[in-house]
Amino acid sequence: MVGVRSEALDKFREKLDRELKSGLVTVVLLAGIERTGPVYGYALLRDIQEASAGRLHFKEGTAYPLLQNLEKAGLVATFWGDGDAGPPRKYYEITTLGRSALKQALTDWAQLRDSVDGVFDTLGRKKA
Amino acid sequence: MSDIIEDYLRRVEDALAGEPEHARAVVREIRAHLTEKADDMMRADPTRDADVVAREVVDGFGDPDDLALAYRDGEPTAVRNRNTNEVVLEVGRAIRDAGKAAAPHVAAAGRSTAKAARAVGRGLGGFIKVVAIVLAALLVLALGAGVWAFYEVKPLIEKNVPVPVFSRSDWCDDDGCNLTRGPLTFYVHGAAREVRLDMGVHHDEGSLGAYSVNIRNPNGTLVYSESFPANATHNTQIHQAWSPLGGDWTIEMEYIAFKGHVDLDILTVGLPPESL
């Protein structure tokens, strides 16, 4: 029925949103560090929010474990330094390995996006 | 700072219980985020209630238990400050992990020994002979497990022993020092897990001099900069740690009418034994 939102539909949308963002947020963080680094967490997330005009929304706390994973994988290096104001902040800076990984991830993303768009397009033409 | 934010940080630290140093590093980073966000929101609208803003900030950050789970899923590694217990902690973890891996083998050997012992007991009927055989078998198992654990643990121990990559001591006596040293270069292996600075700055009593140090990574980024002015505490110990970037790092030290001495060591941790 038009206009009726079921609980099942909301759950599906939540799950899809979570799964779609799961890997992409990591790539977005890495890209943000590559373009604006060295940068600390809050400033990075603020820049990403501005760049996405608020469209890319996720719990801010989820970013920090992902940043830790990037550090552990050797894709970013960190150091403590002064923030714009207040106490010292942990800064993130992309490594050579991180640049290679980002380049590959962006290529993979472009291919995936084109493939999926192609599927939607082809299936749509078939139905028509 | 708002009690709401401090209470939230306590919950995060509690949720990360079991790795206190990592928890402290996480809380330190999150505190900086939450306070700056709250400050920004208050600057944007000073009429807002501070507690309401704090509540929005922590709610927007996420549930502490979920956060702790997300950190643990990634098997967090802490940036540790140097202390005398550090190698012991790493050895302890290595032994625990080696023991966990060895346990099924030890248990299987134990069951076989018990089976053999029962057969011997039934066949010979000699209680003392059974006990002696079981004790001998257990001793062999313990020795075998020890040797096996040693070879499992040894590379882990070696991997976590800090390796010095730069070391310097400067003494400046009665006339004091006015000089700049560097930039000097030290090399960090790309496979290292961490770069550490241990520095002791000792001002002579009544010294009016100053000492400063700058450290840059291979990208030229200033990762550490510290000045010790006149009238600073007479003896200062500094311990810092960074994630490594493989390549040539530089360090520059400046002494201005400084009297006293500076001991400085830079070490890397986590190199595989074959690269030492």
The model's pLDDT over B40-94, given as tens digits with 9 standing for 90+, comes to 999 999 999 999 999 999 998 988 888 888 887 653 333 233 333 333 334 444 4
Residue B87's pLDDT is: 38
Residue of A37, A21, A58 whose CA lies nearest to B219:
A37
Residues above pLDDT 90, as percent of chain B? 18
ipTM of predicted assembly, 2 dp: 0.81
Query: For A18-38, what is the mean pLDDT?
Result: 86
Query: What pLDDT, in 10s, does the model give residues B9-22?
Result: 999 999 888 777 88
Cβ within 8 Å, pair A86-B36: yes
A3 pLDDT higher than 60: no
pLDDT at B83: 36
Please tell me the predicted confidence (pLDDT) of residue A36.
92
Contact predicate B261/B171, CB 8 Å: yes
| Per-residue model confidence (pLDDT) at position B2 | 76
Find the mean pLDDT for residues B1-7: 84
pLDDT of A85 reads: 62
Q: What confidence tens digit (pLDDT) does each residue in B185-223 have?
A: 888 888 888 888 888 888 777 677 888 899 999 888 998
Which pLDDT does position B75 carry in this prediction? 38
**pLDDT confidence of residue B150:** 66
Res B54: pLDDT: 94
Q: How many CB atoms lie within 10 A of CB B55?
A: 16
Of B273, B269, B265, nearest to B238 by C-alpha is: B265
* Cα B23 from chain centroid (whole Å): 12
CB B61 within 8 A of CB B34: yes
**How does residue B121 score in pLDDT terms, banded at 50, 70 and 90?**
low
Q: Which of B32, B77, B242 sits opposite A79 (nearest CB)?
A: B242
Number of residues written out for chain A:
128
Query: Does B112 score more than 70 pLDDT?
Result: no
The number of CA neighbours under 13 Å toward the Cβ of B90 is 20
Tokens encoding A44: 């990075």
User: If we measure between CA atoms, which residue out of B199, B208, B137 comes closest to residue B172?
Assistant: B208
Q: What is the pLDDT of residue B81?
A: 31
- B134-189 tens-digit pLDDT: 888 888 887 877 777 666 666 666 556 778 888 888 888 767 788 888 888 888 88
- The reported pLDDT for the residue numbered B84 is 37
Which sign, positive or negative, has the C-alpha torsion B150, B156, B161, B163? positive
User: How many C-beta neighbours within 10 Å does residue B28 have?
Assistant: 15
**Residue A60 is nearest to which of B61, B63, B223, comparing CB atoms?**
B61
pLDDT averaged over every residue in chain B: 76
**A48-101: per-residue pLDDT in tens?**
988 888 777 777 888 999 999 999 889 999 998 875 666 788 999 999 999 999
Kindly state whether B236 is in contact with chain A, defined as any CB-CB distance less than 8 angstroms.
no
Q: Let me know how long chain B is.
A: 276
pLDDT value of residue B203: 78
Q: Over pLDDT 70: what percentage of chain A?
A: 86
Cβ pair B36:A88 closer than 8 A? no
Pairing of strands B247-269, B210-216: antiparallel
On chain A, the residues whose CB falls within 8 A of the CB of B221 are 38, 79, 93
Chain A closest-CA separation from residue B99 CA (Å): 25
- CB interface of A with B, residues 42-101, below 8 Å: 42, 45, 59-62, 64-66, 68-69, 71-72, 76-81, 83-90, 93, 95
Asked if the Cβ–Cβ distance from B32 to A64 is below 8 Å, we say no
The answer to whether B81 contacts chain A (CB < 8 Å) is: no
| Of residues B147, B184, B141, the one with CA closest to residue B165 | B184
Burial label for B199, CB within 10 Å (0-12, 13-18, 19+), is buried
Q: Which of B31, B37, B71 sits opposite A65 (nearest CB)?
A: B71
Query: Nearest CA to CA, how far is B264 from chain A (Å)?
Result: 19
